[in-house]
Structure 1
Amino acid sequence: MTAFVAPIRRKSAGRSHYYVDGAGTRMPGVTTILGAGVPKKALIDWAANATADYAVNNWETLGDLAVAARLNKLRKARYEERDAAANRGTQVHALAEQLVRGDTVSVPEELRGHVESYVRFLDLFDAEPVLIEFVVASYRFGYAGTADLIADLVMPGETDPVRWLLDIKTNRSGVYGETALQLAAYRHADVYLDADGAEQPMIPVERAGVVHVRADGFSLVPVTADQAQLRTFRYVQQIAAFVDESPALIGAPIDPPDADGEIARVVYERPTL
């Protein structure tokens, strides 16, 4: 058992959010844990490629700038692309939440492809929502998070609907392996918050997966999110905690007892030719 106590609450912080327990103690979020505890080789490659692409595509403009300004532009280039992608993802998520509730939405021109793809997913799998954009928490293991969707889907060749835990992804590069850990943490949480903010036992699901929504279509991607993946997530959680706490393990440099005392002198002799 961890030291966290009910009830869990999600707090907004600008464009971001965090979680606190009933005592006001901040509770680690699932995506924050994965961000700190899982190596991001693909992210390193992406950052290098994004900077190189920006330099090539803006060669003449950069050439007109002073060296310091040019360097500053290149340093910020990958963040501009990241923020644009994150903003697109946030908007698609918000519209998807409204759509799955059956609301009428106003869609920006640049997001119409994504929204139409998501609507096709809902229609073609006859999706029946159970929970939408809901907070989960594990007091056993000390984490919280926000899951996108639990829905009953009609699968090919099957007559009875199948209950899925689903994460909606809008990135260009597809579904990364760490998503299995994310969905396992959500699936095996202790509780979720209902529409009134009351904690309820987590709803069991039969399958887990990702709806990869793109401007040109969608993919329903099954993801293994079982007890084995939950166990791995807990290892990652320990690494993330170590990364956070490790600076405190390093002490201050130790001065010698007598900084002004005599010291040995090293004499170098020239080699004889």
Structure 2
Amino acid sequence: MTKYVPPVTRRNYGRSHGYVDGNGQKMPGVTTILGDGLPKKALINWAANATAEFAVDNWDELAGLSLTERLKKLQGGRYGVTDKAKKRGTEVHAYGERLVKGEAVANVPAELRGHVEAYVRFLDAFQVEPVAVEFTVASYRFGYAGTADLIADLVDPQDPDGEPVRWLLDLKTNEKGIYGETALQLAAYRYADVYVEDGQPEKPMIAVERTGAIHITSSSAELIPTVSEEQQLKDFRYAQQIKRWDSESRELILPALDPPESTRLVAKVDWNEVSA
């Protein structure tokens, strides 16, 4: 495995971002590892359905295009859905970061007001006390980095009069709910070596008692616990190896070999033979 050295730095590239170590060497991101290292069987059906829905919703417009233009529109139709979902997720995360820090937010777009109000109710209901917000983590042992949303102390819903419980949490706005890979994502964050917040020096990763996702929709924000223990870290590392293999797999196929020079005939075919 490639050796990485501290300190880790998150670099933003427009709407994307990446991570580099102290030598400027790129470090794989947790979500990229999971995206490339886990099978996405549901995406096959989703892509087909999204393309079909786009065709039906834009039937008249498509009919007026040339075949080449029509094909291009259909091929890109499903990306409009994902772009909209990513934009919503990014904006909800931004509001969530400010809200959990106790900042007031204003001029919330109408389509996001339900999400913001639901998260406000969540923060009040669980009496959320932030410990670290929107911070970078890195594992030099296992070679990855990532951005975690929140470590916070929450009132235990099973024991509201007891001591608060420290959670590592990830905000999710997916309409379909929380997927299993979230457990691996949080395990990778939980067992990272260090974390960096607000440009401060690296510190040892904060220990937590529980892990989970906050599923935020336009009507509710729910606390969804995950099992993100050492076994899930191992599972994450299996996905990491699959990603590595996938990126290197072409190197396993070598150039074709030329045959040696020879006059000996091995195979014979009589093209004039007629079978009975």
Q: Is the pair's TM-score, using the shorter chain for normalization, greater than 0.5? A: yes
Is the Cα–Cα contact under 8 Å of residues 18 and 26 in structure 1 kept in the other structure? Answer: yes
Match of 1:165 in 2: 168
CA distance in 2, matches of 1:246, 1:116: 47
Match of 1:102 in 2: 102
1:114-161 deviations in Å (ceiling 9; x for gaps): 111111111111111110000001111111100000111112231211
- Give the counterpart letter for 2:195 in structure 1: Y
Matches within 5 A, 1:93-172: 93-106=93-106, 107-158=108-159, 159-172=162-175
Which of 226-235 and 247-256 deviates more? 247-256
- Give the counterpart letter for 1:124 in structure 2: A
Give the alignment's TM-score, normalised by structure 2. Answer: 0.94
CA distance in 2, matches of 1:258, 1:120: 79
CA distance in 2, matches of 1:133, 1:228: 25
User: Cα 1:62–1:189, aligned 2, differ >3 Å: closer, same or farther?
Assistant: same
Match of 2:177 in 1: 174
Match of 1:270 in 2: 274
CA distance in 1, matches of 2:261, 2:75: 46
Q: Does 1:205 find its partner at 2:208?
A: yes
User: Cα 1:265–1:114, aligned 2, differ >3 Å: closer, same or farther?
Assistant: same
- Tell me, what secondary structure is at the counterpart of 1:17? strand
The count of residues paired between Structure 1 and Structure 2 equals: 272
User: Cα 1:126–1:259, aligned 2, differ >3 Å: closer, same or farther?
Assistant: farther
Give the alignment's TM-score, normalised by structure 1. Answer: 0.95
Match of 2:8 in 1: 8
Is the Cα–Cα contact under 8 Å of residues 100 and 129 in structure 1 kept in the other structure? Answer: yes
Match of 1:40 in 2: 40
CA distance in 2, matches of 1:22, 1:210: 31
Q: Which runs of no fewer than 5 residues in structure 1 stay unpaired?
A: none
Which of 143-152 and 253-262 deviates more? 253-262
1:59-95 deviations in Å (ceiling 9; x for gaps): 2222222221111111001111111110111111111
Moved over 6 A (4+): 259-263
Match of 1:246 in 2: 249
1:17-46 deviations in Å (ceiling 9; x for gaps): 111101111111101111111000112221
Is the Cα–Cα contact under 8 Å of residues 134 and 197 in structure 2 kept in the other structure? Answer: no
